[in-house]
Structure 1
Amino acid sequence: MAGARVLSIRPAGADDVPLIRQLIAELAEYEKLAHAVVATEADLRAQLFGAHPAAEVLIGEVDGTPAGFALFFHTFSTFLGKRGLYLEDLFVRPAFRGAGLGRHLMAALARIALQRDCGRFEWSVLDWNRPAIDFYRRLGATGMDAWTVQRLEGAALRALAARDEL
């Protein structure tokens, strides 16, 4: 079919760190959280490609051009007694939306979850991001509305760590 775009997905490598950092910045801008991005390329290189990688990244391309990414890692479910796959970030650059890349990235992650015998595949989405929520519902995802995310960071994290030291 004339005009069809070629979509491809590949695992990221250490040479992709500048691209990953840029995609994270673009995602943060979209989510109105640009001020919160402090990760450097050195941080990402160490955490993604160091001795003990904390997460993995898939790069999505459209016609050979980097168009998006998915960053994920494993969790563990005590109820299932199995690992889970957690999607930390999914982002497709605006110029490439509608080509099917987001769906292909999600399907690739689902295949990874099954290949690795994961019992679940989970992620969070901002409650105001209706296009993303609608996209996830079309994929068959179910909202976990009874659960809320809790977070400790910065001073609160340090204060708790210092409390009641043995």
Structure 2
Amino acid sequence: MSITIRPAVPTDIATILGFVRELAEFEREPDAVTATEPHLHDALFNSPPAAEAIIAEQDGVPVGMAVFFHNFSTWTGVRGIWLEDLYVTPAARGSGAGKALLVHLAGLAVDRGCARFEWAVLDWNVRAIDFYRAMGAEAMEEWTTQRVSGNALVKLAGRS
């Protein structure tokens, strides 16, 4: 059974949203997904797109996806790729789909002249952390992610 990687197309939106919901369930946040198919379609296929997605297929059946976008480093002066979500269905884990998605994205980063390929992982997801280390990833232990959302975002914007 071979794994192939291809760019997402508009007819993949329902599959991508299903994968996002499965990922949220796995990450213990099943009610956090508010995205809809129209949201994802606009984000991935409007011009310019807010993000891109690739699909991993095993024998023609979607078994995983990666959603990513460009970020920018003032330190390097060039853009990078931020991996927002990497998901492989439970049945396809261990098939090489996750590795194929990461290898494909690393290739895109190199082809696009990116200096970095980065993502976040939950600290309790030891299986994923071990997988990422095996792929050559390094933890940025001195850095923590900060987030402002919801009412705090409105308040910070001075709109409360």
TM-score normalized by the length of structure 2: 0.98
Identity of aligned residues (%): 53
Give the 3-state SS of the residue equivalent to 1:69 in structure 2: strand
Gaps of 5+ in 2: none
Instruction: Say yes or no: does 1:70 pair with 2:63.
Output: no
Deviation at 1:15, TM superposition (A): 1.1
Instruction: Say yes or no: does 1:105 pair with 2:101.
Output: yes
Which residue does 2:18 correspond to in 1?
22
Give the 3-state SS of the residue equivalent to 1:83 in structure 2: strand
Instruction: Say yes or no: does 1:59 pair with 2:55.
Output: yes
Instruction: Say yes or no: does 1:128 pair with 2:124.
Output: yes
Counterpart CA distance in 2 for 1:102 and 1:53 is: 24
Q: How many residues align?
A: 159
Gaps of 5+ in 1: none
Which residue does 1:31 correspond to in 2?
27
Give the 3-state SS of the residue equivalent to 2:157 in structure 1: helix
Give the 3-state SS of the residue equivalent to 1:32 in structure 2: coil
AA partner of residue 105 (structure 2): L
Counterpart CA distance in 1 for 2:59 and 2:25 is: 24
Counterpart CA distance in 2 for 1:105 and 1:143 is: 19
AA partner of residue 22 (structure 1): G
Deviation at 1:162, TM superposition (A): 1.2
Counterpart CA distance in 1 for 2:2 and 2:136 is: 25
Larger Rg: 1
Which residue does 2:3 correspond to in 1?
7
Give the 3-state SS of the residue equivalent to 1:162 in structure 2: coil
Counterpart CA distance in 1 for 2:59 and 2:12 is: 17
Counterpart CA distance in 1 for 2:47 and 2:121 is: 30
Q: 2:46 aligns with which of 28, 43, 50?
A: 50
AA partner of residue 58 (structure 2): V
Q: Deviations over 1:101-127 (max 9, x none)?
A: 100100000000000000000000000
Deviation at 1:50, TM superposition (A): 1.1
Deviation at 1:14, TM superposition (A): 1.0
AA partner of residue 39 (structure 1): A
Give the 3-state SS of the residue equivalent to 1:112 in structure 2: helix
Deviation at 1:52, TM superposition (A): 2.1
Which residue does 1:117 correspond to in 2?
113
Which residue does 1:93 correspond to in 2?
89
Counterpart CA distance in 2 for 1:139 and 1:47 is: 29
Structure 1: 4+ residue segments shifted above 3 A: none
